[in-house]
Amino acid sequence: MTDAFIEPFLTNYDDNRYPAPFLDQYEMMECLANNEFGETFLIKDRHSGENCIAKCYFKHKADFNPCESEFLRKLNHKGLPEFIDDFDNSELFVMVRSYVPGVPLNEFVSCFQPNKELFLLIGKQICEILAYLHQQTPAIIHRDIKPQNIIIDRLGNVTLIDFGISRVYNDGSSVDTTFLGTRDFAAPEQYGYSQTDHRTDIFSLGILLVWLLTGESNLEKAKELLPDNRVRKVILKCTAFDPKARYQSANQVKDALAGRDIKRKISIFSAVLVILLFCVAFIQKLPVFSLSQPGNIVFQEPTIEKAVRMTLGIESSEEITEEDLLSIETLRLFGNQIALDEEALQTYTDLFVNNDPSIRRGDIQQLDDLLLMKNLRHVVLIYQNITTIEPFAQLPYLEYVDLRHNPIEDVSPLSRASELSVLILFDTHVSDLTALMDCAHLSTLDLGGTLVQSFAALNGLDSLRMLCLRRTPLYSLVGITEHLHLEEIYLSETNINDFSLLLELPNLQSVHVGEEDRNGIKELGSGYTFTVLYN
């Protein structure tokens, strides 16, 4: 941006409208958008020099609602911008969030013909972001999924922006009173047929997928352009008029898009993406995995090989290539059973809880085979014979790890998993988690049935929002006040008698305790604001 542009821009807006503390801290650089509801600016922190985004909302508007600030403040996901601060005066509400480098999806795709590979690469990431939003309590509904609100960075990573018309799901509401959204991408219920919920975003996701495949956002026109029957079925289910007929979760959409033929194309497309992205001006030189020629790949654990073949759809007589293995991001096993999706995993969990004899302890003991799958993000290995997780130290993209019912003691190999957000260690031999203090995104931690004796074992885990400590030898809550982001905690079947420190957690929403804890909770009086649930 030139000085010749900046100077007249800065003289055209009235500084006095903006909160003084905001102007003290930030320098206005560029107006990115403005409409009757507010303005969006590129700004620079006067102290750090860091670029940020300021969303300025006009408070005199009847439908003014600072929901974007409220949502981003409590969210923590690599596919969402980070909340930084907000400012307020009689005229404007200003929310400052992180600047997301990249270009909007509608500009990005101008370099490509509509194609299945791009559709899957982008679609998978949007599914993961939506799954995270919809799993919040209550669920957060974006309601404006469209290309202009999706940013692609130089590595092909997706960020979903603009929560200005988002809302939380309200069980007591039957319809939405106002149409908000973008017409081609809006679900029928956004026109007032019924209340919007997470399935509203599923509809918009379906339209987005159609657009990525065909370049057409009009569903009726695009139907004839869809490339194959399987993709057509996925999109038609996403965009069903009745929300009950759609996929009921973003994870279901993601699973429906899975398949060996498609995953092979994603791997190839990801490799050449670096070259093609040079047509977008922001690209720099990037590292990327090399795809070798097919070789003789040997697994040490037969069960892991079986799970890999089922995931890829490759028969036992067929060869697995390195290319195939690099396409695998999810692996799920519960005992002797292989789960290809979350629904199957939940079925096996229910059978296990009910002591069904069909669920037996698995025979996996060591994890070296996982090193063949460098792009693993979601690993579920429940009820095995795993004692060490050392190979995890070489899997940098891990986001979700479930190791329930394994004789594991040391979790330090996970310390390099910088994107790890969910870790489930129920019924393991773990007693200390301090090695994970650099896992800045770790927000969900299940330590039920472990050997954790005090909160000293959790020192440095500052991002926790959900913590399960049921059935642990815990005697005191001393140290819990170091975890100010906690929203939900499970404390049943512990040795805790004094719950008073819970009152010092400003974001706490739910406390799960046992019937034996009623007297301890009663001693808190009536001043607490969180919900107590007795198990």
Q: What is the pLDDT of residues 200-250, one digit of tens each?
A: 899 999 989 888 888 887 877 777 777 677 788 888 899 888 888 889 899
- Give the CATH number, domain containing residue 325: 3.80.10.10
* Residues 407 and 447 occupy one common structural domain: no
* Residues 420 and 483 occupy one common structural domain: no
- Give the CATH number, domain containing residue 166: 1.10.510.10
Find residue 150's DSSP bridge partners: 160
373, 404, 409, 378: which is closest to 391 by C-alpha? 373
* Residues 125 and 255 occupy one common structural domain: yes
| Ramachandran category for residue 2: left, alpha or beta (phi over 0 → left; psi -120 to 50 → alpha) | beta
Residue finishing a domain among 362, 395, 430? 430
Tally of domains within the chain: 4
Does some domain include residue 279?
A: no
Residues 6+ away with beta carbon under 8 Å from 272: none
Q: How far apart are CA 393 and CA 115, in angstroms?
A: 35
* Residues 240 and 109 occupy one common structural domain: yes
Q: What integer pLDDT is reported at residue 65 of this predicted model?
A: 67
Q: What integer pLDDT is reported at residue 64 of this predicted model?
A: 63
Does some domain include residue 143?
A: yes
Q: How far apart are CA 452 and CA 194, in angstroms?
A: 47
* Residues 124 and 216 occupy one common structural domain: yes
Q: How far apart are CA 231 and CA 227, in angstroms?
A: 7
Does some domain include residue 276?
A: no
Sequential DSSP letters for 228-276? -HHHHHHHHHHT-SSGGGS-SSHHHHHHHT--HHHHHHHHHHHHHHHHH
Residues 6+ away with beta carbon under 8 Å from 31: 9, 13, 39, 40, 41
pLDDT reading at 427 higher than 50: yes
Residue finishing a domain among 368, 400, 430? 430
Confidence of residue 458 (pLDDT cuts 50, 70, 90): very high
Which residue range(s) make up the domain with 46?
Answer: 3-98
Residue-wise pLDDT tens digits, 81-122: 999 999 999 889 999 999 998 888 888 877 666 667 777 888
Q: How far apart are CA 478 and CA 498, in angstroms?
A: 10
Does some domain include residue 366?
A: yes
Confidence of residue 153 (pLDDT cuts 50, 70, 90): confident
Q: What integer pLDDT is reported at residue 287 of this predicted model?
A: 34
Amino acid at 333: L
Does some domain include residue 277?
A: no
* Residues 421 and 447 occupy one common structural domain: no
Does some domain include residue 272?
A: no
- Give the CATH number, domain containing residue 93: 3.30.200.20
Does some domain include residue 435?
A: no
Q: What integer pLDDT is reported at residue 491 of this predicted model?
A: 98
Stated pTM of the model:
0.52
Helices 116-134 and 198-214: angle between axes, nearest 10 degrees: 170
Quick one: three-class SS letters along 477-502? CCCHHHCCCCCEEECCCCCCCCCHHH
How many percent of the chain have pLDDT more than 70?
A: 82
Within the chain, what is the greatest distance between any pair of CA atoms? 76
Q: φ, ψ for residue 99 (rounded to 5)?
A: -80, 130
* Residues 94 and 115 occupy one common structural domain: no
26, 57, 24: which is closest to 42 by C-alpha? 26
Over residues 304-325, mean pLDDT: 90
* Residues 77 and 181 occupy one common structural domain: no
Q: How far apart are CA 108 and CA 117, in angstroms?
A: 14
* Residues 117 and 234 occupy one common structural domain: yes
Residue-wise pLDDT tens digits, 261-306: 444 444 445 544 544 554 444 444 333 333 333 347 899 999 999 9
* Residues 294 and 325 occupy one common structural domain: yes
* Residues 111 and 91 occupy one common structural domain: no
* Residues 116 and 94 occupy one common structural domain: no
Residue-wise pLDDT tens digits, 62-72: 566 667 677 78
Give the CA dihedral 228, 230, 231, 234, nearest 10 degrees.
150
Residue finishing a domain among 261, 278, 304? 261
Residue-wise pLDDT tens digits, 185-214: 676 666 555 567 888 899 999 989 888 888
pLDDT reading at 486 higher than 90: yes
Does some domain include residue 270?
A: no
